[in-house]
Each structure stands twice: as structure tokens, then as C-alpha cells.
């Protein structure tokens, strides 16, 4: 395959990240290699190292990009259920976020599994920490409202809601749901329903709720 003589008009770094995310979406995090990304981007095997010192550095950049995109989509979903007075039912906000998360994970093959991947734990990247915090900051306020401000209960609720959303996305991507002709819209609706049910359970368990 001939190699491109230019670096995509000076934007090779962005191209490499986008290409790496494509590999992750198709084959999962373990399949990501710098060599494969270079091959798909049609550049020399050495070119990516001008921007990323290692596979981990490339993976960090992917996690940051994914977290930022996911954060934007979470905010957009929550804005859609926010009234003109700027307030929203926290249960509906949580369910909208769960649906957006499931959709993202199904379409991009990643979510918290990339953003908080084990091999990135301990990575010295403030940008990665900030990007991950941005996702949590988008989802946690509704959970805190639902649980009456109890931080531990809110995190437990959020964990269950994300598990439901991630689970449906994974089942769709692995083909388990194909026999039922499930679509991304289907699993997003299921994730929202799970989040709504869990939220109501948490409200009932909260004193003075």
C-alpha cells in the first residue's frame, strides 16, 4: 500500500486518534496496535511516533477523545429533557443519560471500558483525569438528586445504570440480540427503562424521598 507523502494537511495526530478509535470499535481495545493504525492511516510505521511515544500514549489520546465526545452526548441528552425553566426531573435526566451512554457504547465500541481501562490506571495524564471527571460530572448530579445527596448511594445507582447500558450495548455488538432484530434505538430505550426503574427504587429507599 503506498504511503501518503503528506500528514493530512498537518492533522495527522487527529487522523491517528480517529483511526485508532475505528480499530477499537471494530475489534476491541486489545487489538489496538500502532502498526495497524499506521497501516489504516496510510502512513509509514514510524510516523505515529512523531505524535505518540507509545501505544499507551495513543490509547490515552483515544480515551480522552472518547470521554469528551461521550460527555457532549450526555449533556445533549439531558438538555432534551430539561424544561424551559432550566430544571429537569432527575429520574428522566438519568434515564436520558443511560440511553445516550448505551447508544455511544454500541456505536463506538467503547465507553467506561476505554475511558477507565485498567492499563490506563496510574497513567500520568491530567487531560485523561479531567476527561474522565467530565463524564462523571455529567452523570452524577442526577444520581445525587435521586438519592437525596448520599454520595455512596449515588455512585452505587450510577454503577448499576451504567452496567445496564453497557450490557445492552455489548449484547448488541456481539450479536446476541440479532435474532430479535434489535437496533441501537432498541437498546437505548431498554437502558433508559432500566435506569428509570433503578432510580425509582433508589428514591423509595431514600428517607424522606
Closest CA to 102 of 167, 46, 41: 167
Q: What separation, in Å, do the N-terminal and C-terminal C-alpha atoms of the chain show?
A: 63
pLDDT at 208: 65
pLDDT at 1: 39
In the chain, the domains with their CATH numbers are 1-52 (1.10.10.60), 70-205 (1.10.357)
Q: Given the C-alpha cell 486518534, which residue does it identify?
A: 17
What cell was used for 8? 493530512
CA pseudo-torsion sign 24, 70, 172, 184:
negative
pLDDT at 3: 46
Maximum separation of any 2 CA atoms in the chain, in Å: 68
* Per-residue H/E/C for the chain: CCCCCCCHHHCHHHHHHHHHHHHHHHHCHHHCCHHHHHHHHCCCCCHHHHCCCCHHHHHHHHHHHHHHHHHHHHHHHHHHCCCCCCCCCHHHHHHHHHHHHHHHHHHHCCCHHHHCCHHHCCCCCHHHHHHHHHHHHHHHHHHHHHCCCCHHHHHHHHHHHHHHHHHHHHHHHCCCCHHHCCCHHHHHHHHHHHHHHHHHHHHHHCCCC
pLDDT at 2: 41
Contact by Cβ (8 Å): 148, 170: no
Contact by Cβ (8 Å): 138, 75: yes
Q: What is the pTM of this model?
A: 0.88
Question: What is the pLDDT tens value at each position of the chain, 209 positions in all?
Answer: 344 444 554 689 999 999 999 999 988 899 999 999 999 999 998 999 999 999 999 999 999 999 999 999 999 999 999 999 989 999 999 999 999 999 999 999 888 889 988 888 888 899 999 999 999 999 999 999 999 999 999 999 999 999 999 999 999 988 888 777 789 999 999 999 999 999 999 999 887 65
Amino acid at each position: 500500500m503506498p504511503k501518503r507523502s503528506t500528514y493530512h494537511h498537518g492533522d495527522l495526530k487527529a487522523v491517528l486518534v480517529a483511526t485508532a478509535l475505528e480499530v477499537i470499535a471494530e475489534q476491541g481495545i486489545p487489538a489496538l496496535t500502532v502498526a495497524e493504525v499506521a497501516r489504516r492511516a496510510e502512513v509509514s510505521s514510524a510516523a505515529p511516533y512523531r505524535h505518540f511515544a507509545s501505544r499507551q500514549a495513543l490509547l490515552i489520546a483515544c480515551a480522552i477523545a472518547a470521554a469528551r465526545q461521550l460527555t457532549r452526548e450526555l449533556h445533549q441528552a439531558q438538555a432534551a429533557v430539561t424544561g424551559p425553566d432550566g430544571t429537569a426531573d432527575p429520574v428522566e435526566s438519568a434515564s436520558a443519560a443511560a440511553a445516550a451512554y448505551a447508544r455511544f457504547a454500541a456505536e463506538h465500541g467503547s465507553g467506561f471500558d476505554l475511558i477507565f481501562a485498567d492499563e490506563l490506571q496510574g497513567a500520568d495524564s491530567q487531560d485523561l483525569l479531567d476527561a474522565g471527571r467530565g463524564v462523571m460530572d455529567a452523570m452524577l448530579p442526577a444520581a445525587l438528586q435521586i438519592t437525596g445527596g448520599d454520595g455512596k448511594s449515588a455512585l452505587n445507582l450510577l454503577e448499576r445504570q451504567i452496567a445496564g447500558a453497557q450490557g445492552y450495548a455489548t449484547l448488541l455488538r456481539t450479536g446476541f440480540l440479532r435474532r430479535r432484530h434489535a437496533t441501537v434505538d432498541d437498546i437505548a430505550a431498554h437502558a433508559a427503562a432500566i435506569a428509570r426503574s433503578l432510580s425509582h427504587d433508589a428514591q423509595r429507599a431514600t428517607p424522606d424521598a
